[in-house]
Each structure stands twice: as C-alpha cells, then as structure tokens.
C-alpha cells in the first residue's frame, strides 16, 4: 500500500475523531465528508465502520435517552438518515446504500402536531443490505443476511436471508 493511501486513510480516521466526537467510536472508524450529528442520546459506531457523507450529508441522530448503534464493518453511504428516539440497532457487516432512511419514531401524532408520536425499536441483523432509498419504519426487525430492494418501504419484520421489495415491502425471494 502506498504512503499516499495510508495518509488519506489517516485523514479519514482523524475526520471521524473530530466530526463524530460526540459518539462512541470503535477502532478504525473512517469518515468521508461532514455528517449531521445529533447526539442527545447515545450513538455508538463499532470497529471498521465507514461513513461516506460527501455528496449528500449522512444524518445520525439519537434523541434524549435513545440509542443508535452500528456494528463493526458496516458501511453507511451518502444521504442516509439513521434516527433513534428509542433504539436503532444495526448489526455487523451491513451495507447501507445511498439515501436510506431508518426511523424508529413517527415524531408526532397524526392530526395533532403537538402530541408525541409512537416509537418502537428497530433491529437490523448482521450482513443485511439496504439498497438505495429503502425506508425502514418503527418496530421492524430485519433478519440476518436479508436484502431490502431499492425504494422498498419496510413496515413489517423481514425473515433472515430473504429479499423484500415494494411499497409496502413483501418477500420476493429466499436466499437459502
């Protein structure tokens, strides 16, 4: 590996240390660009997590008393929104494509903008792939090795090693 590549990797590590300083970081977390971070609660990124936030900003948010955790070796691409008001737990080795939205809250009630919305934890298993502009809503568990197709809206649990697509997302294929 060239000295230039090592240096650029060091800059991406340093960028993560500075811009994600309100988060708990594992070893060798790297960051390209400038994310928007709201760490009123706890945000934890595991070892070897990579965040690309240079074409459009990644948003990492954990409200007061909430927890957002990302497992080791997970990749988060441009424009992704990860928002926890209760808990969002993302496993190891996941691939999160451009423009993905993961939100565990409605933020406000329907018809009453001052009333608190409902929240429910989201759990995403190891090795999950969330394709471009997929949306994962509150209360969902996505099993290990599952794939969520581009543009899908996940409103119900997804079995391990299953491909889901559509609005709302439905199983279209088993990967076993």
Q: Which pLDDT tens digit goes with each residue over 57-107?
A: 999 999 999 999 999 999 999 999 999 999 999 999 999 999 999 999 986
Homologous superfamily of the 3-174 domain (CATH):
Hexapeptide repeat proteins (2.160.10.10)
Q: Which of 108, 156, 170, 173 is catalytic?
A: 108
* Residue ranges of domains in the chain: 3-174
DSSP three-state, residue 124: strand
Q: Which pLDDT tens digit goes with each residue over 31-67?
A: 999 999 999 999 999 999 999 998 999 999 999 999 9
CB 20 within 8 A of CB 35: yes
* Cα 129 to Cα 10, 136, 168, 175, distances in angstroms: 27, 12, 17, 13
The question of whether 36 is a catalytic residue gets the answer no
pTM for the whole structure: 0.89
């Amino acid at each position: 590996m060239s000295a230039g590549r090592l240096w650029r990797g060091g800059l991406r590590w340093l960028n993560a240390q500075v811009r994600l300083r309100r988060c708990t970081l594992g070893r060798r977390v790297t960051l390209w660009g400038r994310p928007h971070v709201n760490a009123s609660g706890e945000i934890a990124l595991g070892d070897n997590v990579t965040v690309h936030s240079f074409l459009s900003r990644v948003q990492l948010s954990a409200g007061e008393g909430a927890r957002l955790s990302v497992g080791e070796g997970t990749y988060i691409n441009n424009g992704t929104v990860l928002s926890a008001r209760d808990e969002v737990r993302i496993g190891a080795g996941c691939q999160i494509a451009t423009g993905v939205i993961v939100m565990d809250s409605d933020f406000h009630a329907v018809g009453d903008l001052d009333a608190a919305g409902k929240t429910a934890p989201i759990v995403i298993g190891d090795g999950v792939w969330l394709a471009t502009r997929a949306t994962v809503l509150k209360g969902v568990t996505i099993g290990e090795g599952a794939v969520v197709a581009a543009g899908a809206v996940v409103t119900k649990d997804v079995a391990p090693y299953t491909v889901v697509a559509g609005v709302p997302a439905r199983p279209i294929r088993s990967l076993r």
